[in-house]
């Protein structure tokens, strides 16, 4: 074991939390608990993963692995032995979560409400599943807690009595969110009902978490609140500024709900911090952000996981505690980095099969983390569930109803086999997107080809297959798939013009690319990545001022576009404005650390500024992330040999370059 840097670790999950909403509240002093973590620790964006499926993301946070390894691929899954489908279960996770590893190392560990965590796992502490907080009966009817919700079952009575039914809430609980709730006609407008359920759910989770902190010894505690995400899906369209299609009266009634949700979560966080104590290390994280400005979509696509269109690519991360830097901003955090960071805090090694890395930049002193091949190979009781464990069909159906109510899935078809096939297809589709997100298009290709062969009318499948072909350099196949779909459907789709323009860029047909991209712009000027591609076309044509305008337009639409920041870096490199190029490249890698091309452009700009040590640092990061990129090795050979007079390091990269040239 390495040095243990944390006596205790409290991990708090706020689903959907976003700095764009939080920062004004911090500036006005309205979130003092969160402000205390920020002032005493580090903060930054955290990059989400694709696809943005919440149970998949929270399992990646808890394991440090992508979904192809941990096995949680959807909101639902086929129900083994029983037929039909069920909500995704903890028993479907194929690898150890951080609480299993800590259990194995005999740390006292508690988990409340993580998604997915039903049935509760027999860890070294208390585990309360994500079925715990959902009310499934009227207040005047029995409300039995579902079997398997609490481990150990000797604690069931305690936690059963802590639950809060929505019908128990009074006006005093609702008015801070909707001061004019009395004006709502609740027979026609059901929004108050969804609000009340969200308040009761997160309050129930909080009751369980605080009881554990008050009454149980602990080394690690993880508690997950999904209410911010629910508040935002239900009420973000009423958040200021008013969207043009939102009636003034509705805006006036519900405009404070999202802000109220954040303030309530800060109140709950304050109590968690008080109970955890000043010597605890606290990590607060969200799985993604939430559009709260002009990027809010007016409508939600009628497709599985359609509500994810409201999500932003960056969530929140902050951490405070002993050995953590104070009042600093960090860059490049990913969801995959949370579990490796927690293991580091406990002095435990990182599994080499984990996709994340500890956030070393968060700590006061630099160090090299220890590693082992895999925690999966470490024997001993860890509290994981058997995959053969039977589930309660009633509990499964209630959780399914929650997903239906939130809009994440449709009601199952009467034809059960059709519902099963749909779930399997979506899970395969999400797995293919995981492979694409990992830059493994060759793994995604056969999955997408099979899906399109069976479901050629599904635009999502066709689009991602075309993107996959593009990633593999198979532009002719990509164009064939797109054109076949367009000819069959007889309907114009701007996203295909965008993709065809991207293909023309790859084929160096810059004028043709610009024509297609401008066609897409006329149809849908706010499409993600559109203006970045337009900027790329102008840049490749040597029209740098036009390229600048395109990238400015991209950043007007989305200031957090790492691609647009890197586009500026390329433009300014071409114009020999190296200070500007370095600045924008730094912005790009700050937004998304795992962006090898931006590290390359940063290195090139720094080299031109004669900052050779820093240039080599950036280029080495690029070489580590993209070892097959010959150009970076060529530049490193030049810098090591000609500028720093380090022939050994130059020889190391020359050897790699020679091998790449042979290929």
430 lies in some domain: no
| Distance from the Cα of residue 531 to its chain's centroid | 24
278 lies in some domain: yes
pLDDT(406) > 90:
no
Residues 6+ apart with CB under 8 A from 128: 111, 112, 113, 117, 120, 149, 150, 151, 159, 208
Residue 426's nearest CA partner among 401, 399, 453, 448 is 448
H or E, element range at 9: strand 8-14
pLDDT, tens digit, 9 for 90 and up, residues 131-162:
999 877 776 777 889 899 999 999 999 999 99
Residue 522 tokens, joined? 């006329």
Q: Which residues pair with 280 in a beta bridge?
A: 8
Residues 6+ apart with CB under 8 A from 227: 15, 198, 199, 201, 202, 261, 265
Model pLDDT, residue 384? 93
Q: How confident is the model at residue 528 (pLDDT cuts 50, 70, 90)?
A: confident
Handedness of CA 127, 133, 135, 136 (dihedral sign): negative
SS3 assignment, position 319 = strand
Domain that holds residue 652: 576-663
pLDDT(389) > 70:
no
DSSP class of residue 238 equals G
Model pLDDT, residue 525? 86
Residue 73's nearest CA partner among 94, 96, 97, 99 is 94
SS3 assignment, position 266 = helix
Mean of the pLDDT values across residues 199-213?
97
Whole-angstrom CA distances from 417 to 77, 89, 401, 421, 451 are 13, 20, 19, 6, 17
Mean of the pLDDT values across residues 202-215?
98
516 lies in some domain: no
614 lies in some domain: yes
Q: How confident is the model at residue 185 (pLDDT cuts 50, 70, 90)?
A: confident
SS3 assignment, position 320 = strand
Q: How confident is the model at residue 401 (pLDDT cuts 50, 70, 90)?
A: low
The percentage of residues in the chain with a pLDDT greater than 70, rounded to a whole number, is: 95
Mean of the pLDDT values across residues 587-606?
92
> Residue ranges of the alpha helices (H) in 291-440?
338-345, 393-406, 416-437
Domain boundary among 347, 372, 394: 394
pLDDT(390) > 60:
no
Q: Residue holding tokens 């990129």? A: 629
Residue 376 tokens, joined? 């999966």
pLDDT, tens digit, 9 for 90 and up, residues 575-586:
999 999 999 999
Helix pair 416-437, 459-471: axis angle to 10 deg: 30
Q: How confident is the model at residue 78 (pLDDT cuts 50, 70, 90)?
A: confident
Residue 640's CATH number: 1.25.40.10
533 lies in some domain: no
Evaluate whether 315 touches 289 at the Cβ level (below 8 Å): yes
Q: Between these two residues, 73 and 79, which has the higher pLDDT value?
A: 73
Model pLDDT, residue 383? 93
Neighbours of 272 (CB within 10 A): 20
H or E, element range at 258: helix 257-276
> Residue ranges of the alpha helices (H) in 490-577?
494-506, 510-523, 530-540, 544-557, 562-574
Q: How confident is the model at residue 493 (pLDDT cuts 50, 70, 90)?
A: confident
Max CA pair span of the chain: 81
DSSP class of residue 411 equals P
pLDDT(615) > 90:
yes
Q: What burial letters (b/e) apply to 169-183, b meaning 16+ CB within 10 Å?
A: beeebbeebbeebee
Q: How far apart are CA 329 and CA 42, in angstroms?
A: 5
468 lies in some domain: no
pLDDT(392) > 50:
no
Residue 287's CATH number: 3.40.720.10
Q: Between these two residues, 186 and 72, which has the higher pLDDT value?
A: 72
Residue 101's nearest CA partner among 389, 380, 386, 388 is 380
Model pLDDT, residue 321? 97
The percentage of residues in the chain with a pLDDT greater than 90, rounded to a whole number, is: 76
Residues 6+ apart with CB under 8 A from 250: 238
Domain boundary among 367, 394, 421: 394
pLDDT, tens digit, 9 for 90 and up, residues 106-124:
999 999 999 999 999 999 9
Model pLDDT, residue 330? 92
- Of 65-74, 153-162, 436-445, 651-660, least confident by mean pLDDT is 651-660
146 lies in some domain: yes
Mean of the pLDDT values across residues 81-91?
82
pLDDT(447) > 70:
yes
pLDDT(197) > 60:
yes
Residue 142 tokens, joined? 């029995």
pLDDT, tens digit, 9 for 90 and up, residues 340-376:
999 999 999 999 999 999 999 999 988 889 999 999 9
Pairing of strands 109-112, 8-14: unpaired
Vertex 641 angle, CA 636 and 646, to 5°: 95
Radius of gyration of the chain (CA): 26
Mean of the pLDDT values across residues 176-187?
87
Model pLDDT, residue 394? 37
Half-sphere exposure of residue 282: CA atoms within 13 angstroms, side-chain side: 25
Residues 6+ apart with CB under 8 A from 43: 37, 316, 317, 318, 328, 329, 330
pLDDT(281) > 70:
yes
Q: How far apart are CA 385 and CA 406, in angstroms?
A: 28
Whole-number average pLDDT of the chain:
92
Model pLDDT, residue 309? 87
Domain boundary among 394, 428, 463: 394
Pairing of strands 41-47, 328-329: parallel
Q: How confident is the model at residue 393 (pLDDT cuts 50, 70, 90)?
A: very low
Q: What burial letters (b/e) apply to 500-516, b meaning 16+ CB within 10 Å?
A: bbbbbbeeeebebbbeb
589 lies in some domain: yes
Model pLDDT, residue 404? 66
pLDDT(228) > 80:
yes
> How many separate domains does the chain show?
2
Mean of the pLDDT values across residues 430-455?
96
């Amino acid at each position: 074991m390495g040095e243990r840097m944390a006596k205790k670790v409290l991990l708090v999950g706020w689903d959907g939390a976003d700095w764009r909403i939080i920062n004004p509240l911090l500036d006005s002093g309205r979130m003092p608990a969160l402000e205390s973590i920020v002032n005493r620790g580090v903060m930054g964006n955290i990059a989400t993963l694709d696809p943005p499926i919440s149970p998949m993301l929270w399992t990646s946070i808890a394991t440090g692995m992508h979904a192809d390894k941990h096995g949680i691929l959807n909101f639902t899954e086929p129900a083994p032995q029983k037929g039909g489908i069920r909500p995704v279960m903890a028993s479907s996770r194929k690898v150890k979560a951080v609480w299993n590893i800590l259990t194995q190392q005999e740390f006292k560990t508690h988990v409340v409400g993580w998604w997915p965590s039903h049935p509760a796992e027999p860890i070294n502490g208390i585990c309360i599943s994500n079925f715990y907080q959902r009310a499934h009966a009227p207040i005047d009817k029995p409300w039995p807690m579902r079997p398997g919700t609490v481990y150990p079952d000797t604690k069931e009575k305690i936690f059963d009595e802590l639950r809060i039914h929505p019908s128990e809430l009074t006006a005093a609980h609702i008015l801070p969110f909707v001061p004019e709730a009395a004006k709502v006609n609740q027979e026609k407008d059901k929004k108050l009902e969804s609000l009340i359920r969200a308040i009761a759910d997160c309050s129930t989770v909080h009751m369980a978490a605080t009881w554990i902190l008050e009454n149980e010894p602990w080394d690690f505690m993880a508690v997950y609140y999904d209410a911010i995400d629910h508040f935002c899906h239900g009420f973000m369209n009423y958040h200021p500024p008013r969207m043009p299609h939102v009636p003034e009266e509705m805006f006036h009634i519900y405009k404070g709900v999202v802000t109220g949700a954040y303030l309530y979560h800060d109140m709950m966080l304050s109590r968690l911090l008080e109970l955890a104590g000043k010597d605890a290390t606290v990590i607060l994280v969200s799985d993604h952000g939430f559009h709260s400005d002009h990027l809010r979509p007016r409508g939600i696509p009628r497709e599985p996981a359609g509500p994810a269109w409201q999500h932003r690519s960056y969530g929140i991360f902050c951490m405070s505690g002993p050995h953590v830097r104070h009042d600093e901003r960090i860059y490049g955090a990913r969801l995959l980095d949370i579990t490796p960071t927690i293991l580091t805090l406990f002095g435990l090694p990182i599994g080499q099969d984990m996709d994340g890395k500890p956030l070393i930049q968060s700590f006061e002193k630099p160090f090299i983390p220890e590693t082992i091949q895999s925690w999966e190979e470490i024997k001993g009781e860890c509290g994981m569930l058997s995959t053969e464990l039977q589930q309660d069909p009633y509990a499964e159906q209630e959780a399914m109803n929650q997903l239906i109510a939130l809009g994440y899935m449709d009601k199952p078809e009467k034809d059960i086999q059709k519902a099963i096939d749909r779930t399997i297809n979506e899970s395969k589709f999400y797995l293919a997107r995981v492979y694409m997100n990992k830059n493994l298009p060759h793994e995604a290709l056969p999955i997408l080809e099979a899906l399109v062969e069976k479901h050629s009318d599904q635009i999502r499948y066709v689009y991602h297959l075309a993107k996959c072909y593009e990633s593999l350099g198979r532009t002719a196949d990509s164009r064939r798939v797109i054109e076949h779909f367009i000819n069959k459907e007889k309907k114009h789709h701007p996203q295909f013009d965008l993709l065809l323009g991207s293909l023309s860029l790859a084929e160096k047909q810059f004028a043709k690319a610009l024509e297609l991209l401008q066609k897409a712009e006329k149809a849908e000027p706010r499409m993600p990545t559109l203006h970045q591609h337009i900027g790329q076309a102008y840049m490749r044509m040597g029209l740098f001022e036009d390229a600048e305008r395109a990238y400015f337009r991209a950043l007007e639409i989305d200031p957090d576009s790492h691609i647009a920041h890197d586009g500026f870096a390329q433009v300014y490199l071409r114009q020999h404005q190296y200070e500007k190029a370095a600045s924008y490249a730094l912005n790009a890698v700050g937004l998304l650390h795992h962006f090898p091309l931006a590290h390359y452009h940063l290195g090139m700009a720094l080299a031109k500024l004669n900052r050779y040590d820093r240039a080599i640092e950036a280029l080495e990061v690029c070489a580590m992330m993209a070892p097959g990129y010959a150009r970076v090795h060529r530049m490193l050979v030049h810098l090591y040999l000609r500028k720093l007079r380090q022939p050994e390091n130059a020889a190391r990269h020359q050897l790699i370059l020679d091998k790449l040239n042979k290929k």
